[in-house]
Amino acid sequence: MLQSVLTLMVFGRLVDGQIEVEHVLTLETAAAQCGTNLPGTRLDLIDDVGRIVATAPVQVIETAVCGDGTGGCGGGCAAGGPVTSGVICAVIPEPPRGTTLRIVRDEEETWIREPAGAPPRVEGMQGSVEGDWVRLTWQEEVYVDRPLRLLRWSADEGESWQVLAGALDAGEATVPVAPLLSGPALIQVIISDGFDTAVSEWSRLDVPVPHRRG
């Protein structure tokens, strides 16, 4: 079993050869590779005096044709054509404190992120099971335009966690109860601005046994 450590993760897409970053998250998790290295591309974490304190390769999982676009990955990629479409990620385990993130491709800066004025906060997590749905509410303070919000749940009193939902609106969520095992479950909301992550207190739910339709 992989050990969970504080990990900085950047996720996004490669579209027509261009990198589009969608989410940045720092969280206790098991760090792992997520694809193959994108040539000449790296993620830098920079401190407040401009020094690079950590770096990681940007990796890609291909999702479409490559090379000259005339064939699948088995053709163009095998022939050495460039990867132009896919899901990208970069992972820095146990990151030192930094003030700037940037992606450099062929020694040219293509993306940059700086921290907000204050870290996010979340409190007042409440949840209930209503029929086929789990309804959750919380209070939050966030200082970036597009924070990452996730719900996670645990069936073993917080020993292990699984993601339940993402792409949440501020302060509330309604999600299907179906992914949860029957019995007691803990649910938390996680909010990240990239550099800092807030994890709510857990809400304990009693998930009923699914009704069998005959």
Check residue 5 and give its pLDDT.
84
Check residue 195 and give its pLDDT.
83
- pLDDT tens readout for residues 40-77: 999 999 999 999 999 999 999 987 554 444 444 433 45
Domain boundaries, the chain: 5-113, 121-207
Check residue 115 and give its pLDDT.
81
Dihedral pair phi/psi, residue 32, rounded to 5°: -155, 160
- pLDDT tens readout for residues 139-156: 999 998 888 899 999 999
What is the pLDDT averaged over residues 100-124? 93
Check residue 149 and give its pLDDT.
94
Q: What's the whole-model pTM score?
A: 0.70
pLDDT at 116 over 70: yes
Q: Which CATH number fits domain 121-207: 2.60.40.10, 2.170.190.11, 3.30.420.10, 1.10.1060.10?
A: 2.60.40.10
Strand 172-176 to 133-141 pairing:
antiparallel
Residue 18 and residue 84 in contact, taking contact as beta carbons nearer than 8 Å: no
Check residue 75 and give its pLDDT.
38
Check residue 29 and give its pLDDT.
78
- pLDDT tens readout for residues 20-34: 998 888 888 776 678
> In sequence order, what are the residues at sequence separation of 6 or more whose Cβ sits closer than 8 angstroms to the Cβ of residue 187?
125, 127, 134, 136, 151, 152, 153, 164, 202, 203, 205
C-alpha 78/C-alpha 85 separation (Å) is 15
What is the pLDDT averaged over residues 75-97? 79
